[in-house]
Chain A
Amino acid sequence: AQSVTQLGSHVSVSEGALVLLRCNYSSSVPPYLFWYVQYPNQGLQLLLKYTTGATLVKGINGFEAEFKKSETSFHLTKPSAHMSDAAEYFCAVSDRIYGGSQGNLIFGKGTKLSVKP
């Protein structure tokens, strides 16, 4: 069964510093991987996704993630943090039981990112 582990429930960085949010997954099939962001009292917004092809994936707001099969990781990075990046970030893997389409998402517990001025 698929699972996701996010290391660090809370990460704090200074404005302008590198953001690194860690995600490790477990999957019995080639995974589809996602990062979502959730601002306070809002739903989830897709940041980026990996399905097939290039292992370095670029998303919105300057975020990117690299799929590393050997490490079963999909860490999220951003070179320079902005105050507006403060939010909760969720890594997810798709449970692809229908031959690759429309599986449900299995989420990690989330990492809350704080950005200090």
Chain B
Amino acid sequence: DAGVTQSPTHLIKTRGQQVTLRCSPKSGHDTVSWYQQALGQGPQFIFQYYEEEERQRGNFPDRFSGHQFPNYSSELNVNALLLGDSALYLCASSLAGGTQETQYFGPGTRLLVL
């Protein structure tokens, strides 16, 4: 049973560029959430996708956008990169409708903005 996978594992970009990160959820899961983890901090919620729509959003600017595909995989896009966007980006998947919600995390994509 494949867990949550993310690609790429590492990425280096320069300020002003755009980046796309990808996530495939755990088999059977239909909900994908994205988190940003800055160095030395806990993860912070960016947004959540369910049924191909953004269902919740954290306190992140519109430069951060996403998409969910019919196969439940998801992309996170960040435009006009800033140095402060350097972080580990974590994807988590879960199953909607359950009463005992558990989010399973992927290994993350480490983004460095120079």
Residues of A within 8 A of B (CB): 32, 34, 36, 41-46, 49, 51, 90, 92, 94-98, 100-110
Contact = CB atoms under 8 A, between A and B. Distances in A.
Interface residues of B, number: 33
Contacts of A36: 105
B41 A109 contact: yes
B106 A101 contact: no
Minimum-distance CB pairs A-B, first 8 = A107-B42, A104-B45, A44-B105, A43-B105, A43-B107, A51-B100, A43-B108, A109-B42
B43 A44 contact: yes
Contacts of B99: 51, 100-101
Nearest to B91: A43
B96 A104 contact: no
Nearest to B31: A102
21 contacts: A36-B105, A43-B4, A43-B108, A45-B105, A46-B102, A46-B103, A51-B101, A94-B101, A95-B45, A95-B56, A100-B101, A101-B96, A102-B48, A102-B50, A102-B55, A102-B96, A104-B48, A105-B35, A105-B103, A108-B42, A110-B40
